[in-house]
Structure 1
Amino acid sequence: MQRFILSKKNHITVISGILILIGFISELGFKNESIAIWSLGIASVLGVAPIAIQAYQALRVKVVSIDVLVTIAVVGAFLIKNLEESAIVTFLFLFGAYLEQRTLNKTRSAIKELTEMAPESALKQMENGEFEEVEVDEVDVGDTLLVKTGAKVPVDGTVLSGEGHINEASITGESLPVSKKKDTKVYAGTILENGTIQIMADRVGEDTTFGKIIELVEEAQDSKSEAERFIDKFSKYYTPAVLVLSFIVWLFSRDIELAITILVLGCPGALVIGVPVSNVAGIGNGAKHGVLLKGSEVIQDFSKVDTIVFDKTGTLTIGNPKVADQEMYTDNVEEVLAYVASVEKESDHPLANAVVEHIGETKQYSVEKTDVVKGGGIVAQVENHRIAIGNVFLMEQENVSLSEKALSDIKRFEKNGNSLVLTSVDGKLQALMGIRDQIRPGVKEDLQKLKKLGVKNLVVLSGDNQGTVDLVASELGLTEAHGHMLPEDKSAYIEKLQGKGQIVAFVGDGVNDSPSLALAQIGIAMGGGTDVAIETSDVVLMNSDFSRLPHALGLTKATASNMRQNIFIAVGVVLVLLASVFFSEWMNMSIGMLVHEGSILVVILNGMRLLSYKLKY
């Protein structure tokens, strides 16, 4: 019976409202007291039923809830035959609960959109080679799947054949289509906007990046910050205190109407709901914009950060070294570059890959007698020429004479933060290339935004040489720069900053920097959809998009501010209402309940503003 009544709460609200309307029309319009009394009486009994059931359920678990206060107030008003008050209070309480639920659902809209993006079916290749539509739960790792134009990618996988453009907004928050071809990775929940591709399933179900995002965001919504825990504890004692205060007022004044009015006015509804709704809306906005905030506690801590420490490679820089400077010491440039490209293709070293990419399409020669010199480079035979490619140490080993110009160029390249690749042909220096990692586009502007948001210290820590790190710091306007740092050195430096009372966030790639990510008050991973990044950090910037960082910090500051606003509104309204009872004559139960429900809607709507939050600069 209880479940039936609670399931019909909205219907009861409508019927109660109609009965109240009939009652007032009968009394004011037709002077018919009996119909008015019956209508308002039935409205009171009908309206209090679901409230009383909720109060009973709360008392069973030893909780004095708002429903308990309202039930006592309504029953008291009914017994003293103040039917207008009892009927109106129940209607306003039920109608307010309906509006609260409706608006709260909107704050969860970003999460709802995410879950609705989850793929439900897939075209799976069967044993006969044909593709058949199956439930996504029936797909196993290693299965071959077909994805057509307009379809959702059902799993995380690798493209086997075909080409197309995929909208990865569900993963990265960026709606610009990304080109996909053979051997590239695709993610569940993304949409193939054009083309047709076949993929091999790498991760399925909850193990996909999309599945982890939904799980993390849902967990974050259910988490509670220190402020929320305090308010929960406060309301646990505050609500019974209101009950005791009401009884004391009645004991001294013998005014039952005043006592039950205090019960209604003292309800802490807006206070209880104000902080959670801000957190839910903030987390929802983050999920929508490719930022995963792992809970309410993270929002509070991140909003107070005054120092951000960055790993260099893959964070401030792209993590993909490229040839930045080049000097040639021969007139036969094309032939020498062809020799270099032919030899470097024999190596899988990142610097070799950068050289091959820089040279591009060129003539290919047969390479013989390849010898990799540890810590030096590579030596090989090409067209009966001895080709040596590597650092200065290798040139010295090969007895290559370096001219004054070459030495000057080497010094200049090193000052610019380059790693050096020298090439000699038959013992003569022919080429010098400077290779360095490129700074991410837009990083300098993003760092300026962080400063405007109140971050005082921007520090870079890297395993690279100090010259390279200083160059990056100078170009980006960072506060401090430290090179030759091992993972344990980075952790020790973060502890040192924390020892000075600084609130530190560390931004890294989530792989080799996991100790620092765990140690900092806030660990921020450049996600790239990796498991390690998602698991070890407090905040994940999906798709390694650095531009999400200022949005994330601005969002947490806006959310923390929104919480404080809601607490101020909630406490202020209760104090004004209680003061009005003792120092004015116009306050009554109905007005109090109207203001009470209005305050709840105000804090919900205030929290919902976060759903549309965007960084202003």
Structure 2
Amino acid sequence: MKIQQFLTKHTNQITLATGILIVLGYLSQYLFHYTLGYQVILAVASVIAVIPIAIRAWSALINKVFSIELLVSIAVIGAFIIGEFNESAIVTFLFLFGSYLESKTLQKTRNAIKGLTDLSPTTATLVTTDGTSKVAVDDVDEGDVVLVKTGGQVPVDGVVVAGSGYLNEASITGESRQISKTTTDQVFSGTIVENGYLKIKATQVGDDTTFAKIIELVEEAQDTKSKAEKFIDRFAQYYTPAVLILAALVFVVSRDFRLAITVLVLGCPGALVIGAPVSNVAGIGNGAKRGILIKGGEVIDTFAKVDTLVLDKTGTLTQGNTAVTSFKAYTTQLETALNLAATIEGTSDHPLGKAIIAYANKQAGAVVTPTLTDTETVKGQGICAAVNDQQVVIGNQKMLTAHHISLTTKQTHDLNTMQQAGQSTVIMAVDEQVHLIFGIADTIRPQVKASLAALKTQGIKHLVMLTGDNELTAAAVARELAIDEVHANLLPEEKVTYVNQLKAAGNTVAFIGDGINDSPSIANADIGIAMGSGTDVAIDTSDVVLMQSSFPALVHAHGLAKKTVLNTRENIFIAIATVAFLLIGLVFGYIYMASGMFVHEASILVVIFNAMRLINFQTKFDHTQPTSVPTTTTTTA
């Protein structure tokens, strides 16, 4: 074990020494005409170089793996038997030098991921009763308050409790722009305070922070193999023994030992083995740089085949920044009714509820807060509550129907008017009498329409919107965004039913959403996509996470998946074509052991460099997007 560690550590020095010895050997032969020196020096070079290769081969054999190193080791032994020390020296040197170049170029494909881990904060300035003290980030607990000044890195996920400043959130969203943060705003670990100072109360620390989860997801993704990689792994297990058998048959038929040894060298499947993994690592790295987390090679494969995209509406197609734009009251005690609505909605974090709270607080003023004696949230419908011996229902039409509450002709007319204007509606009834109707509007996310059109050009054939909102509002949004199919008034389990129906019809389905209600659909789809601004549950159950919560990022993710799959196929073709070229060259006599190894190592570098093109990949739609510049957009928790 120690010998193997030593050789691994000094492989580059061994490669350099072998190269120098080969040069000295050829100088001895052609400059000084000293043939014995030529043979001895090249024999020594071969022995020095083959030792680390043979040890790797033996380690693989112990684990019942027939490796490329085994083929090279046997080929070197054969070259020694026939006295071709020049061939064995050159073959081992090229193999070691190729491994060196391979590791260097592969490192470049991992730079984006390494850059993430390098950004991970290690210390924090803890605010205490005695002042401040610098501590390790692992020593910060939930509820602690930390201080971050200009140029400092936020060490925790939390809420700003004092101060203000501009943050660079590139480590989270992949987009380098400054975001204004002030009291009550949410901030994330790994972001940098470009200007100002913040006191932050920690809500998530250590491995629970958003940034730590990003690093964990990306690192796990690298180890998750695609179908192509799994196939190649199985193929390699049989391929290497097959090459050994082929070489033996060649010797039996031709009695040409040199030819048999050359078959071993030419049969090395290096480019085939490395082609798929390096493409997936480069693709995942490209996504990580842009705040797109793709959870592994198999996800890339499936995502590239998606033909049906299913979308949630509120918080996904729309920004979730809702506001009450229409309001109707059917009670003389308006302020009391508004305050009652705000109090009940305060038990929920739904965007529509937040809009009602904001509106009620602005309109009703200071009114005594009623006491809720019992509440029940019905997913996809609304909330039931008991207040001062009154039964209150607040939610959508399905909620009222379930409680046998009907609307008058005027109330129905008002409701339809709001819905035809594209507004979401929330109805509040007290003791089975409708008191309030809220018409709530939400803005569609920027560039959604153009992004959906771009996705269609990339191969998405069918767009479906599933929403718990009413039919009129859903239809208005669908018309504006040119969505092919829409289903409204759905409960979470009904959304899952539609997703499963689409899958059963033979479609490859992706579902994109952001809330807890979306998690079952995200989990059931072939590919689940979560907006990074959504809940932890949605992110944990998804296959792809868009930390920017933007549709241009979705276009890039889908285009990247398709390009990565294509790149993998290109690499597999290059590898197979190389082996075919070498075998044909062997038959016609223009490829020999050393030249074959040179071509073999060159093919490995070709597939690596081909995969590296993915690092800077952009879709056609990306080129139409404006260059990101610092802004002062305020985001609140």
TM-score, normalised with respect to structure 2: 0.84
1:402-421 aligned at under 5 Å gives the runs: 411-419=416-424
The aligned residue for residue 599 of structure 2 is 595
Equivalents in 1 of 2:409, 2:369: separation in Å? 23
Equivalents in 1 of 2:45, 2:368: separation in Å? 96
Return the offset for 1:435: 2.5
User: What's the RMSD between the two structures over aligned residues?
Assistant: 3.2
Q: Who wins on radius of gyration, i.e. which is larger? A: 1
Opposite residue 609 of structure 2, the aligned amino acid is L
The aligned residue for residue 524 of structure 1 is 529
Render the CA deviation track for 1:265-316: whole Å, top value 9, x for unaligned.
0001110000000111111111111111111110000000000111111111
Q: 1:464 to 1:433 in 2, by over 3 A?
A: closer
Equivalents in 1 of 2:537, 2:412: separation in Å? 43
Return the offset for 1:489: 1.1
Matched, 1:499 2:499: no
1:563-602 aligned at under 5 Å gives the runs: 563-582=568-587, 584-602=588-606
Opposite residue 568 of structure 2, the aligned amino acid is M
Return the offset for 1:478: 0.5
The aligned residue for residue 333 of structure 1 is none
The aligned residue for residue 55 of structure 1 is 57
Q: Is the 8 A contact 2:518 2:538 kept in 1?
A: no
Equivalents in 2 of 1:493, 1:483: separation in Å? 11
1:244-393 aligned at under 5 Å gives the runs: 244-324=245-325, 344=338, 347-348=341-342, 349=345, 354=355, 367=367
Equivalents in 2 of 1:520, 1:207: separation in Å? 26
Return the offset for 1:527: 2.2
Q: 1:420 to 1:530 in 2, by over 3 A?
A: closer
The aligned residue for residue 538 of structure 2 is 533
Render the CA deviation track for 1:222-253: whole Å, top value 9, x for unaligned.
11122211110110010010011001101111
Q: 1:523 to 1:153 in 2, by over 3 A?
A: same
Opposite residue 212 of structure 2, the aligned amino acid is G
Q: 1:178 to 1:256 in 2, by over 3 A?
A: same
Equivalents in 2 of 1:613, 1:183: separation in Å? 38
Render the CA deviation track for 1:123-175: whole Å, top value 9, x for unaligned.
1124x422111111111222111111111111111111110111111111111
The aligned residue for residue 215 of structure 1 is 216
Equivalents in 1 of 2:17, 2:51: separation in Å? 13
Equivalents in 2 of 1:497, 1:555: separation in Å? 24
The aligned residue for residue 336 of structure 1 is none
The aligned residue for residue 110 of structure 2 is 108
Equivalents in 2 of 1:593, 1:149: separation in Å? 55
Equivalents in 2 of 1:491, 1:280: separation in Å? 32
SS of the residue 1:478 aligns to: coil
SS of the residue 1:131 aligns to: strand
Equivalents in 2 of 1:390, 1:560: separation in Å? 45
Return the offset for 1:418: 2.2
Matched, 1:35 2:37: yes
SS of the residue 2:529 aligns to: strand
The aligned residue for residue 545 of structure 1 is 550
Match of 2:611 among 590, 595, 607: 607
Q: 1:196 to 1:252 in 2, by over 3 A?
A: same
SS of the residue 1:111 aligns to: helix
Q: 1:376 to 1:451 in 2, by over 3 A?
A: closer
Any gaps of 5 or more consecutive residues in structure 1? 329-338, 378-388, 424-430
Any gaps of 5 or more consecutive residues in structure 2? 346-350, 376-381, 385-393, 429-435, 622-637
Equivalents in 2 of 1:369, 1:566: separation in Å? 67
Q: Is the 8 A contact 1:285 1:612 kept in 2?
A: yes
Q: Is the 8 A contact 2:148 2:193 kept in 1?
A: yes
SS of the residue 2:193 aligns to: strand
Q: More deviation in 513-522 or 237-246?
A: 513-522
Render the CA deviation track for 1:360-413: whole Å, top value 9, x for unaligned.
989x866589899x9999xxxxxxxxxxx99999xxx9x9997xxx99876543
Opposite residue 562 of structure 1, the aligned amino acid is N
Return the offset for 1:321: 2.1
Q: 1:198 to 1:368 in 2, by over 3 A?
A: closer
Matched, 1:11 2:16: no
Match of 1:66 among 68, 71, 77: 68
Q: More deviation in 218-227 or 259-268?
A: 218-227
Return the offset for 1:439: 1.4
Return the offset for 1:48: 0.9
Tell me how many residue pairs correspond in the alignment: 579
The aligned residue for residue 91 of structure 1 is 93
Equivalents in 2 of 1:222, 1:493: separation in Å? 32
Equivalents in 1 of 2:113, 2:426: separation in Å? 50
Opposite residue 93 of structure 2, the aligned amino acid is F
SS of the residue 2:516 aligns to: coil
Return the offset for 1:535: 1.1
Return the offset for 1:609: 0.9
The aligned residue for residue 77 of structure 1 is 79
The aligned residue for residue 200 of structure 1 is 201
Q: Is the 8 A contact 2:287 2:557 kept in 1?
A: yes
Return the offset for 1:2: 3.2
Equivalents in 2 of 1:307, 1:196: separation in Å? 46
Return the offset for 1:344: 4.5
Return the offset for 1:514: 1.5
Equivalents in 2 of 1:168, 1:443: separation in Å? 22
Match of 1:480 among 460, 481, 485: 485
Q: 1:537 to 1:30 in 2, by over 3 A?
A: same
Return the offset for 1:526: 1.3
Return the offset for 1:3: 2.6
The aligned residue for residue 441 of structure 2 is 436
SS of the residue 1:132 aligns to: strand
Q: Is the 8 A contact 1:292 1:541 kept in 2?
A: yes
Return the offset for 1:545: 2.5
Equivalents in 2 of 1:251, 1:369: separation in Å? 95
Equivalents in 2 of 1:319, 1:390: separation in Å? 17
Return the offset for 1:327: 11
Opposite residue 607 of structure 1, the aligned amino acid is A
Opposite residue 39 of structure 1, the aligned amino acid is I
Return the offset for 1:255: 0.8
Q: 1:283 to 1:160 in 2, by over 3 A?
A: same
Equivalents in 1 of 2:525, 2:369: separation in Å? 50
Q: 1:420 to 1:500 in 2, by over 3 A?
A: closer
Opposite residue 593 of structure 2, the aligned amino acid is M
Opposite residue 50 of structure 2, the aligned amino acid is V
Q: Is the 8 A contact 1:315 1:546 kept in 2?
A: no
Q: 1:272 to 1:510 in 2, by over 3 A?
A: farther
Opposite residue 459 of structure 2, the aligned amino acid is G
The aligned residue for residue 230 of structure 2 is 229
Q: Is the 8 A contact 1:526 1:546 kept in 2?
A: no
Return the offset for 1:322: 2.3
Equivalents in 2 of 1:80, 1:544: separation in Å? 65
Match of 1:464 among 455, 469, 473: 469
Render the CA deviation track for 1:521-553: whole Å, top value 9, x for unaligned.
111111216421221111111142232111110
Equivalents in 2 of 1:390, 1:286: separation in Å? 39
Q: 1:170 to 1:341 in 2, by over 3 A?
A: farther
Return the offset for 1:495: 1.4
Using the aligned pairs only, state the percent identity: 53
SS of the residue 2:480 aligns to: helix
